[in-house]
Structure 1
Amino acid sequence: MTRDEAPGVHYAVGSDVGRRRSANEDSAYATPRLLAVADGMGGHAAGEVASAIAIEAMADLDGRLADADPEKRNLLHELGEGVSDAATRLNERVAAEPELEGMGTTLTAILWDGTTFGLAHIGDSRGYLLREGELSQLTKDHTMVQSLVDEGKMPAELAARHPGRSVLIRALMAGSSAEPDLTTHTAEPGDRYLLCSDGLTDVTTPDEILEVLSSSETPEDAVGRLIDIANEGGGPDNITCVIAYVDH
């Protein structure tokens, strides 16, 4: 596929407070170049601040790339710089407002160059790809429970229901350096991508996500259906979805 033949993307964003929270700590962003979701932590005010700071850094990265030549774009370098910028902003905010000490956020972002996308991930928000009828998880949760699964000390089936499954071992935290996973992937026409907070994945199954992404005609329809499913499952947390369909 040449760059002149590179597919475009259609995208949608949706966020819902859920049924048990009084405030929404999630933030999200989407343009034809960049998709991102962040799930804040540290108390509802600080969590909301942290996720917003991370997404502001991603939006500024997107703005800097708006007029850049895609041929010269280094996806992982740009994403790494964006995540580092987010970490710096968190540190600066806590230095100015010490009462925000302890705030942090997850961050999962995709950056396109037309034929390839770079993925940056830290925390337990997730990225999924639906391709030719198969759903794959592009990210790995940075949680204590997932580390036990990786070490063979806990079966994956138990991890999905473990009460400590949201205990993070890596996130964007004020006072610490950013250590995101950075990977590249080739985009193909017909791909469907989902970035989401754990307010969705804690109460839905991969089969449910597969069915919605496969059968929804538009990203907007898919976002609405997934949020409805999460709320029908109890809506214990904020629910945020960013979905992109790549042109056929």
Structure 2
Amino acid sequence: MTHELRAVVGTDPGLNRKGNEDAAYAGSRVLVLADGMGGHTSGEVASALAVDALRELDKEPHEDLTGALAAAVAEAGRRLNEHAPAGAGTTVTAMLWDGPRFGLAHIGDSRGYLLRDSILYQMTRDHTLVQTLVDEGRITPEEAEVHPRRSMLVRALQSGTTHEPDLSEHEAVPGDRYLLCSDGLTDVVRDEAIREVLDAVADPEAAVHQLIELANAGGGPDNITCVLADYR
């Protein structure tokens, strides 16, 4: 039996931002989400440059999934160095598929989730100051949620830096649902609420719409972008 990946993208500026610094792409082989930073114009440029570099992986199949992702992230960094304004940067969370196999690349505080058998797993680790403090046992996860510096990144793809992404390889199971999202969602919507939507709303477009509505109901303080993919 041949399985397929069905993916959709949804984005919204939120209630408190005039522009949208997020960028995303969903193709036959590549899913990518980037959340720009450095000010409205700079952030838009940085995220768009990153997504354009990653989406080129969709042109042909790749045997070495993580190697191809690492090269594409490096190319994105080169383009930021060459074309982005000083101080511009972006998160990058990307998946590169080959049948049931996929590679995952991640840098920043956007997130990748897997819903399998009604259980939600966070596949990525936030590259933030508060996550470092949690890992070191200096604060609890509950304290991290309200920490005044919870959005401070310790790693991102940024002009003038050479930070490497986290890389891993996985295998999908039919029935899996994958979500890439910016922190405009996760800063205001708890994991359990995300799990409930992903588990209950079968249609991907409707599920993305409901997640965005939840984020805006929570105040919509930032841009909200979701890439949702079902492996069937």
TM-score under structure 1 length normalisation: 0.92
Query: Is 1:76 aligned to 2:66, yes or no?
Result: yes
The residue identity in structure 2 corresponding to 1:34 is: V
Q: Who is 1:53 aligned against?
A: 49
Query: Is 1:229 aligned to 2:214, yes or no?
Result: yes
3-state secondary structure, aligned to 1:38: strand
Q: Who is 2:21 aligned against?
A: 25
Contact residue 111 and residue 125 of structure 2 kept, 8 A? yes
Q: Which deviations, in whole Å up to 9, do the C-alpha atoms of 1:64-92 show, x marking residues without a partner? A: x2xx3x5xx11000100110000000001
What displacement does 1:178 show?
Answer: 3.3
CA distance in 2, matches of 1:7, 1:183: 22
Number of residue pairs the alignment of both structures matches: 232
1:54-203 equivalences under 5 Å are 54-63=50-59, 65=60, 68=61, 73-94=63-84, 100-203=85-188
Which structure has the greater CA radius of gyration?
A: 1
CA distance in 1, matches of 2:104, 2:146: 27
CA distance in 2, matches of 1:198, 1:107: 12
What displacement does 1:186 show?
Answer: 1.0
Q: Who is 2:30 aligned against?
A: 34
Aligned-pair identity (%) = 56
CA distance in 2, matches of 1:153, 1:217: 40
Contact residue 16 and residue 24 of structure 1 kept, 8 A? yes
Specify whether residues 105 and 159 from structure 1 end up closer, same or farther in structure 2 by C-alpha distance, changes over 3 A only.
same
Runs of 4 or more off by more than 6 Å in structure 1?
A: none
Q: Who is 1:97 aligned against?
A: none
CA RMSD, 1 decimal? 0.9
The residue identity in structure 2 corresponding to 1:157 is: E
What displacement does 1:6 show?
Answer: 4.6
Q: Which deviations, in whole Å up to 9, do the C-alpha atoms of 1:103-159 show, x marking residues without a partner? A: 000000011111111100000000000000100000000001100100111101110
Which runs of 5 or more structure 1 residues have no equivalent in the other structure?
A: 95-99
The residue identity in structure 2 corresponding to 1:242 is: V
Q: Which deviations, in whole Å up to 9, do the C-alpha atoms of 1:3-35 show, x marking residues without a partner? A: xx3520111100000000011000000012110
The residue identity in structure 2 corresponding to 1:159 is: A
TM-score under structure 2 length normalisation: 0.98
Which runs of 5 or more structure 2 residues have no equivalent in the other structure?
A: none
